[in-house]
Amino acid sequence: MNPTVLTVIASIAPVLATVAAAVASYYTFTLNKQRIEFEKSAKTIQDEQRKVLDQMSQFGSQVMTQTLKVTPQFAFAPYSHLLPTVHPSDHSLFDRRRTHFSPEKEVLAEAAIEMIRKLVETKPSTTCALILDAGSTVFPIFRRLCLHPTFRFDRTNADRLKIITNNLPGVSELIRHGRMGDPISPTTLFECRVLRGFANSLYEASLSTRTSVDLTDAVNEFKESAGANSEVDCEIICVSTGNYISLPDGVLARDPNHQSVKDAMLKIAQHIYVLAPFGKLLQYNCQDINELLGYSDASDGYAALPNWESVSANLTMFVTSRPHEYFAEIGPACLRNHFAAVQDRLRKDYENRLVECPFDPLDDISVRVQVSLIGEERALREYELPHRNMRESLLAKLQ
């Protein structure tokens, strides 16, 4: 071969090699980029599929729960004659009431925890005792406290919050969601003092004639362990609720031990938060409420807390509120006017001591399912007044 040609080939070979390497690098980069994008797209698709499956699972669970709550003429269970009979006594009052206003109770818990968080973070030298009442309305707070970033990821904050409670399902939630460290010998995120008493099957609470006395002992133990000689260095917070909330008479409860424990909790606390889903609020006094429910004997019915009047001036009421246009969806007109009057009076009576959490039941998927099954007016009536006796007697009174 001509030497000149060989020289030319030799001189351009490195250039060709460089170009080839550049082309190969470009295509390799392009292929890697496409592969990364494909993997990212695949992961996105998988995540979306997982979300859809989770939503379908939640939707199916909610549909089943809500369908089973509908009266028999609107519900059909195939092969129901083959199923075992479930007696109402197999479910506690706590179990039944967990299904009432459940999304609102989560909203109220979130609002209460936000207030607790502010108190803890604005007073870094203070230790707080958090007294959590029994009941399904307070129950979501236990789980949400354990999962809240302020306490979950800052052990200093968690160590400064001591829990005192008689809410037995809540204690279980605290252990389940607050488990920390070695799975063989785990610790609990929050120190929790369970009040003395007997397991009450109806309220799933620790209750007895000694429970109120033990509450005082628990608070004193807390102050001693905190090394505080006065209330300046420790704060006592109480979160409570009632079976009903009477606007004139306040928190109502039936069991005498339940009443005394609630009363003791409110008396001993410096900061009192009362949680109330909107449907629990009634503009009638305790006697009228007992008459609505058919309790002719006062010993069988609800009672107001003895010291409500003295503590009510210092408490903060956490309630869910309804948008003004929502009331137009509820019928009949007398019930619509009743709910509007309750909300107006609440705002007037509590003013600066009221924390409103806006909530529209029509935004909840379970309510929308009920609407599709039985119609809007009835679905909203049954949501706002889940206790049939109260619903029927209140409608009769209003009409």
Residue type, 159: D
User: What is 333-391 written as a DSSP string?
Assistant: HHHHHHHHHHHHHHHHHHGGGEEEEE--GGGSHHHHHHHHHH-HHHHHHHHH--SHHHH
pLDDT given at position 33: 72
Rounded-to-integer distance, Cα 192 and Cα 189, Å: 9
In the structure, what pLDDT confidence band is assigned to residue 61 with cuts at 50, 70 and 90? low
Q: What is the pLDDT of residue 18?
A: 74
Q: Give the model's confidence band at 50: pLDDT under 50 very low, under 70 low, under 90 confident, else very high.
A: low
Of the candidate ranges 217-226, 247-256, 290-299, the one whose mean pLDDT is the lowest: 290-299
Average pLDDT for residues 231-247, to the nearest whole number? 88
Query: 304-330 as b/e, with b when 16 or more CB fall inside 10 Å?
Result: bbeebeebbeebbbbbbbbeeebbebb
Residues contacting residue 395 through CB under 8 Å, at least 6 positions apart = 332, 334, 335
Tokens found for residue 312: 């009510």
Rg of the chain in Å (alpha carbons): 30
Q: Poorest-confidence range of 83-87, 111-115, 270-274, 372-376? A: 83-87
Confidence of residue 63 (pLDDT cuts 50, 70, 90): low
**Tens digits of per-residue pLDDT, 68-127?**
444 333 333 333 333 344 444 456 677 777 888 999 999 999 999 999 999 999 888 889
User: How sure is the predictor about 159, in pLDDT bands with cuts at 50, 70 and 90?
Assistant: very high
Which secondary-structure segment (H or E) carries 276? strand 271-276
- pLDDT tier at 36, thresholds 50, 70, 90: confident
Q: Is the peptide bond before 332 cis (omega within 30 degrees of 0)?
A: yes
pLDDT tens for 216-237 read 999 999 988 876 545 447 899 9
> What domains appear along the chain, each with residue ranges and CATH number?
94-362 (3.40.50.1360)
Element (H, E) at 147: helix 140-147
Is the pTM higher than 0.85? The answer reads no
